[in-house]
């Protein structure tokens, strides 16, 4: 299909892959006052303030059109990591979640003005010298699909067709090419991050029903890498073709699993689901920090190097991009398997990774890297403006709305415990909680008529005891299965209140499974870091008696003083501000 697709009949296709439960796709969810809502509002307002003419400056200049405004600078101007399409996606998803007319108006204006800059042959980049053409094409495909799905902008399918005309002719995307550049020893430096091209193109196929996008998506499947996980092979070992890879770019080699997920949705082949499941288990066992972050120096590395990363690596994970890739992967897994265990990683990232970052500076500097060095670290903004993370930031924060609840025909699934409200058919469920600063979550049911359905509550791996619940003050039985949901099935009436207790305590999360230390002191899902006025504090802590030696600080939730040294204060990693020294990982040796 070429030309103006917006004037043609568009009919999507039903996914071939089975979805056991479904997210709400940003609809019907309200974030209420709490950590997530406050961060979402801060991010939305920041991006709404960016002048439209500045965002469009390079596109208009390259197209020979009047270009008021100015260069944003940093990566945006250099076209090495231009984040225009991710910002569009962020606005589209924010609009879908909130109905904010400002997000809709800005997104529609930006995309229509950008479209005026598309060349007759479909060339669509910010400049005449883009360095990562596949990367930017994929992001633009995703933005156009998001605008169509979430903002009902039907023109974007025509734009998608035009830029794909160019991509098919100029990206040399034959199967042989994709296989050749599938060698991760060479690809990242030579060709840019193409690993999620197939995810966005499969999304385009599912939305439009046009086999053109399905066929183009298949060209970009990262089969060689995915197959290692399908077979549970050593990704650092020598492969059958004699190649060996000792380092992978972390973000893109986690983000690519969303392409495997999209392939499963489009084709229904269980092989892709095996890739996704096995990759999750591998990452959690070998590559993920207690915060949910991964990728020291932006690398996936063998276990011995990962174990030394707290000393050897200056940067330990990408806070924004890492969260975005993890959120997508887990949302796909929960949807395909119905298993709540994948929500644990989401929760850790929400509180300790992107949820523990710093606000952006006016010049586009962002909290790019999180630092966990054993000798102490501090939070700081990246020195260059408009790095790649400034694109994933609005997408990931918008995704908060789509990570709290899931559904099927007769069940509501609660994945995150956070102040929120969900409208589900004729039923509204409001969640009130101070979690994680308190261990109680309350759910109030609003319904004109009694309604029979089950509420399924994620049983977190960090629970210090049995989850308990009451309905209208009376204890109720929680049925828990292998899918890590605790189920209450009943006829709910207007005004019913469900109260859930989520027992938490102090516990240790080691860096690796082979050694107890280095480790992070956790409270429930929250990583605690130490403020120590006298240097490294690990030798002062009795790790076998955390509940005795860490004394709660009155009036300061999740904050503890060391009984033997009042100058050592443990508090949530998310509570540390820019420039404050902290010690996150501790090792008494």
Write the CATH number for 16. 1.50.10.10
The residue out of 476, 501, 526 marking a domain boundary is: 501
How far is the C-alpha of 68 from the C-alpha of 62, rounded, in Å?
A: 13
Domain shared by 26 and 67, yes or no: yes
Same domain, 460 and 537: no
Shared domain check, 417 and 373 = no
pLDDT at 402 over 80: yes
Total Cβ atoms within 10 A of residue 33? 9
Does one domain contain both 13 and 92? Answer: yes
The answer on 358 and 281 residing in a single domain is yes
Residue 47 within a domain: yes
Contact 522, 573 (CB under 8 A): no
- The closest alpha carbon to 492, from 411, 416, 431, belongs to 411
What tens digit of pLDDT does each residue of 5-21 get? 444 557 889 999 999 99
If 0-12 CB within 10 Å is exposed, 13-18 middle and 19+ buried, where does residue 235 land? buried
User: In this structure, is residue 249 part of a structural domain?
Assistant: yes
CA-CA distance, 106 to 88, in Å (whole number)? Answer: 9
pLDDT of residue 192: 67
Could you say which of 403, 433, 454 is where a domain stops?
403
458: tokens are 């994620």
584 assigned to some structural domain: no
Average of pLDDT values for 160-183? 69
Q: Is position 28 within any domain? A: yes
| pLDDT for the residue 190 | 37
pLDDT digits (tens, 9 = 90+) for 351-374: 999 999 999 999 999 999 999 999
96-140 pLDDT, tens digit per residue, is 999 999 999 999 999 999 999 999 999 999 999 888 889 999 999
Same domain (yes/no): 225, 263: yes
Domain membership of residue 534 as a residue range: 506-575
* Mean pLDDT computed over 558-570: 96
Task: Name the residue with tokens 């196929």.
Answer: 205
Identify any residues that bridge with 369 across adjacent strands, giving them in sequence order: 318
* Tokens of residue 410, six digits: 């007769």
Q: Mean of the per-residue pLDDT values for the chain?
A: 93
Q: Quick one: which of 490, 464, 489 has its CA closest to 479? A: 489
Number of domains in the chain: 3
Please tell me whether residues 274 and 327 are part of one structural domain: yes
Q: Are residues 324 and 463 in the same domain?
A: no
Residues 6+ apart with CB under 8 A from 177: none
582 located within any domain = no
The confidence score (pLDDT) of residue 18 equals 96
Q: Is residue 458 part of a domain?
A: yes
Mean pLDDT of 491-515: 97
d(CA 410, CA 20): 12
Per-residue burial over 267-284, b = 16 or more CB atoms within 10 Å of its CB, e = otherwise: beeeebbbbbbbbbebbb
pTM of the model: 0.95
The CATH code of the domain that includes 424 is: 2.60.40.1180
Q: Are 139 and 197 within one domain? A: yes
Given 354, 372, 403, which residue is the final one in a domain? 403
The answer to whether position 585 is within a domain reads: no
**308-343 burial code (b ≥16 CB/10 A, e <16):** ebbeebebbbbbbbbbbbbbbbbbbbbbbbbbbbbb
Residue 587 included in any domain: no
Residues 523 and 384 in one domain: no
Same domain? 152 vs 198: yes
- Structure-block tokens of residue 518: 């280095």
Q: Are residues 328 and 464 in the same domain?
A: no
> How confident is the model over 315-342, as a mean pLDDT?
98
């Amino acid at each position: 299909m070429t030309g103006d697709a917006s004037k043609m009949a568009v009919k999507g296709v039903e996914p071939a892959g089975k979805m056991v439960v479904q997210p709400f796709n940003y609809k019907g969810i309200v974030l209420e006052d709490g950590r997530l809502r406050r961060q979402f509002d801060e991010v939305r307002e920041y991006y709404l303030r960016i002048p439209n003419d500045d965002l469009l400056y390079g596109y208009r200049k390259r197209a020979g059109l009047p270009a008021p405004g100015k260069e944003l600078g940093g990566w945006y101007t250099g076209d090495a990591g231009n984040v225009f399409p991710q910002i569009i996606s962020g606005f589209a998803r924010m609009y879908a979640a909130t109905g904010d007319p400002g997000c809709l108006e800005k997104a529609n204006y930006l995309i229509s003005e950008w479209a005026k800059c598309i060349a007759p042959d479909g060339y669509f980049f910010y400049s005449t010298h883009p360095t990562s053409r596949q990367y930017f094409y994929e992001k633009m495909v995703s933005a156009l699909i998001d605008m169509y799905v979430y903002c009902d902008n039907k023109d974007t399918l025509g734009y998608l067709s035009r830029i794909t005309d160019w991509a098919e002719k100029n990206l040399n995307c034959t199967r042989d090419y994709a296989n050749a550049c599938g060698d991760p020893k060479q690809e990242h430096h030579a060709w840019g991050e193409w690993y999620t091209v197939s995810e966005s193109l499969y999304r385009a196929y599912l939305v439009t029903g046009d086999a053109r996008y399905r066929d183009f998506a298949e060209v970009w499947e990262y089969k060689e890498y995915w197959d290692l996980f399908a077979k549970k092979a050593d990704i650092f070992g020598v492969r059958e073709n004699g190649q060996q890879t000792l380092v992978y770019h972390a973000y893109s080699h986690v983000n690519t699993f969303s392409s495997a997920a999209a392939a499963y949705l489009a084709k229904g082949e269980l092989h892709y689901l095996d890739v996704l499941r096995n990759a999750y288990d591998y990452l959690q066992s070998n590559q993920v920090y207690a915060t949910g972050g991964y990728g020291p120096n932006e690398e996936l590395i063998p276990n011995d190097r990962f174990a030394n990363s707290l000393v050897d690596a200056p940067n330990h994970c990408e806070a924004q991009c890492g969260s975005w890739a993890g959120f997508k992967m887990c949302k796909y897994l929960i949807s395909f398997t119905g298993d709540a265990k994948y929500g644990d990683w989401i929760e850790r990232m929400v509180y300790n990774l992107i949820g523990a970052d710093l606000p952006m500076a006016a010049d586009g500097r962002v909290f790019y890297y999180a630092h966990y060095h054993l000798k102490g670290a501090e939070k700081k903004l990246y020195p260059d403006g408009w790095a790649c993370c400034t694109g994933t930031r609005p997408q990931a924060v918008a995704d908060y709305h789509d990570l709290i609840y899931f559904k099927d025909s007769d069940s509501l699934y609660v994945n995150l415990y956070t102040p929120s409200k969900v409208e589900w058919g004729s039923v509204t469920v409001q969640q009130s909680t101070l979690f994680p600063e308190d261990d109680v979550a309350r759910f109030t049911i609003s319904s004109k008529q009694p309604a029979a359905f089950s509420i399924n509550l994620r049983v977190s791996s960090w629970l210090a005891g049995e989850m308990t619940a009451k309905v209208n003050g009376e204890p109720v039985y929680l049925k828990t299965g292998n899918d890590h949901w605790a189920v209450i099935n009943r006829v709910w009436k207007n005004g019913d209140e469900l109260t859930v207790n989520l027992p938490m305590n102090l516990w240790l999360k080691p860096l690796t499974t082979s050694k107890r230390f280095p480790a992070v002191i956790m409270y429930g899902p929250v990583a605690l870091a130490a403020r120590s006025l006298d240097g490294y504090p690990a030798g002062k802590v009795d790790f076998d008696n955390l509940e005795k030696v860490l004394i709660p600080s009155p009036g300061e939730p999740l904050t503890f003083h060391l009984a033997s040294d009042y100058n050592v204060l443990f508090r949530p990693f998310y509570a540390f501000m820019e420039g404050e020294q902290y010690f996150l990982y501790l090792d008494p040796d």
